[in-house]
Amino acid sequence: MVNVTLIGTGGMLPLPDRWLTSLWLEYNGKACLIDCGEGTQIAIAQHKLKLSHLDTILITHTHADHISGLAGLLLSLGNCGKTDTLKIYGYTGITEIIRQLLCICPVLPFRIEIVELPINTKSSFMWNDIVISSLPLDHSIDCLGYSFVLNRKAVFAPEKAKALGIDVKYWKTLHSGKSIDINAKTITPDMVTAESRSPIKVSYITDTRYFGGLEEFAANSDLLICEGMYGDDEYIIKMREKGHMVFSQSGKLAINSHSKRLWLTHYSPALTNPYDYEEFMKKLFPETIISSDSQSITLK
Ligand SMILES: [Zn+2]
Ligand SMILES: [Zn+2]
């Protein structure tokens, strides 16, 4: 089970009723956070997420609304007793920026390992049995989108084992992925598993203009979390100039990437009621959620 919580939904500035856009993804008792704007540690506490589970932070880019809360978050992490290594991923050159931000919290009870990802090409790495991929986006400064893919093990099918006449004492061995030999015949694990299950995929795309590469990157997402600064198409040109999208472009991305669900986020502070566009978006892509802070889902 992958638990996903959108900690905040704001862009640019935190508001009294809207924290800055940030994502919490938890699997197997470990949590990964994308971005930490101002006050993210307070939002994490309000949503009753366990900061002690956090072992990895992914940074999309270094605009203040995505990184200015890093020092405060790390101090809170230290106060909750963390002693094992925290990994922070960002694009090439982020190490120096993080070092400068952390000069106000020079002593932390845990080690920080910073990993730089390429800014001119896609890359992938493993976290907690999940493949995380990064994609360079098209924003006003260097910026990365991220996707999470959990490939699920096929489930053991007792009825298949019974049909093959395999004694129960061998089931555990087959379930662990090992083959067995019975009566000069080799039984492989795939002979006693149910049809393979499709992976669980979550894509997180903000901040960026629309471009074709997003469709391939987010392809077949169970959950696409995507920015939308405004709900009205009249802002398309203005947002393109600033390196952003509007709601209908996020809907177009959900359609073209064949995603199952769309959560909108990163609203402009000037967009006081994003829910005004719910009907418009449901017509475009029915599985759209105009997210609010603490929007969450468990993907199985
Ligand atoms: Zn932003
Ligand atoms: Zn930005």
Written as one string, the DSSP assignment of 80-110 is: TT--S-EEEEEETTHHHHHHHHGGGS---SS
Predicted pLDDT of residue 24 = 98
Ligand sitting nearest the alpha carbon of 35: 1
Q: CA–CA separation, 142 vs 132, rounded Å?
A: 19
Q: Which CATH number characterizes residue 94's domain?
A: 3.60.15.10
Predicted pLDDT of residue 55 = 96
Predicted pLDDT of residue 63 = 97
Predicted pLDDT of residue 173 = 87
Predicted pLDDT of residue 169 = 87
Predicted pLDDT of residue 27 = 97
35 C-alpha to center of ligand 1: Å?
A: 10
Ligand sitting nearest the alpha carbon of 141: 2
Same domain, 121 and 208: yes
- Lookup: tokens for 152: 């699920």
Same domain, 127 and 164: no
- List the domain range (segments joined by +) for residue 166: 159-192
Predicted pLDDT of residue 206 = 96
241 C-alpha to center of ligand 2: Å?
A: 12
Ligand sitting nearest the alpha carbon of 266: 1
69 C-alpha to center of ligand 1: Å?
A: 13
What residues have a C-beta under 5 A from ligand 2, the ion? 63, 207
Query: Per-residue pLDDT for the chain (300 aa), expressed as one digit of tens each?
Result: 999 999 999 999 999 999 999 999 999 999 999 999 999 999 999 999 999 999 999 999 999 999 999 999 999 999 998 999 999 999 999 999 999 999 999 899 999 999 999 999 999 999 999 999 999 999 999 999 999 999 987 788 888 888 888 888 888 888 777 888 888 888 888 888 887 788 999 999 999 999 999 999 999 999 999 999 999 999 999 999 999 999 999 999 999 999 999 999 999 999 999 999 999 999 999 999 999 999 999 999
Any bridge partners for residue 203, and if so which? 147, 224
187 C-alpha to center of ligand 2: Å?
A: 54
Q: CA–CA separation, 67 vs 207, rounded Å?
A: 13
Same domain, 242 and 205: yes
Is the entire prediction scored with pTM above 0.75? Answer: yes
Predicted pLDDT of residue 60 = 98
Same domain, 121 and 174: no
Q: Total domain count for the chain?
A: 2
Same domain, 45 and 24: yes
Q: Which residues are catalytic?
A: 65
Identify whether the C-beta of residue 256 lies closer than 8 Å to the C-beta of residue 224: no
Predicted pLDDT of residue 10 = 97
Predicted pLDDT of residue 156 = 82
Alpha helices per DSSP H over the chain: 40-46, 64-67, 70-79, 94-101, 158-163, 171-175, 213-217, 236-242, 247-256, 278-284
Same domain, 133 and 15: yes
Same domain, 120 and 215: yes
62 C-alpha to center of ligand 1: Å?
A: 9
